[in-house]
A and B are shown apart, each in its own frame.
Chain A
Amino acid sequence: DTEVTQTPKHLVMGMTNKKSLKCEQHMGHRAMYWYKQKAKKPPELMFVYSYEKLSINESVPSRFSPECPNSSLLNLHLHALQPEDSALYLCASSLSRSWNTEAFFGQGTRLTVV
């Protein structure tokens, strides 16, 4: 299994809603990532987890809250988002955080904030 699975594929939420994005991999990878991608732009790193511990937070607003319950799962909890947070949210995983391991990406969750 070489897949990173993200659910849901599409999500529309109001600015007062609370929702969660989910990401799962069964490749035994110990590093997992959240990226945000706006239209016609490259992905931007948000968070990095290594061995289930948060190792990088790229100064992301607190309305985004990541969680890594175990080595296979990564969640992104969303609360009080703004319309400008609408984007494609990509999850990725790699064998480790070492610089020379490749990242595998999921298909993304297309988030629309209304």
Chain B
Amino acid sequence: GAGVSQSPRYKVAKRGQDVALRCDPISGHVSLFWYQQALGQGPEFLTYFQNEAQLDKSGLPSDRFFAERPEGSVSTLKIQRTQQEDSAVYLCASSPMLGRSGEAFFGQGTRLTVV
């Protein structure tokens, strides 16, 4: 497809379960971002990749969160030992640009519910 693709679209996890969320960015896009969006809030920055390099992971809320992009294309966000407060929509975005400008294109997100 032409856009950013995320899977699964919906995920229900039992508390304590590990989950993996996948992002397929637009082909050729250098920059990739992960965001967490709670209901009624704006997207909160989690992490940023430039190709395979994770340049900023300052937004990851705890060491239970881990993101990778080993070949500079597909990215996975992994959450270990999920907690109820992890329930949110996880958005992935990609951009063809390096640095200071350029549009970020978002996927439709993965809605994670931890029960």
Binding partners A and B? no
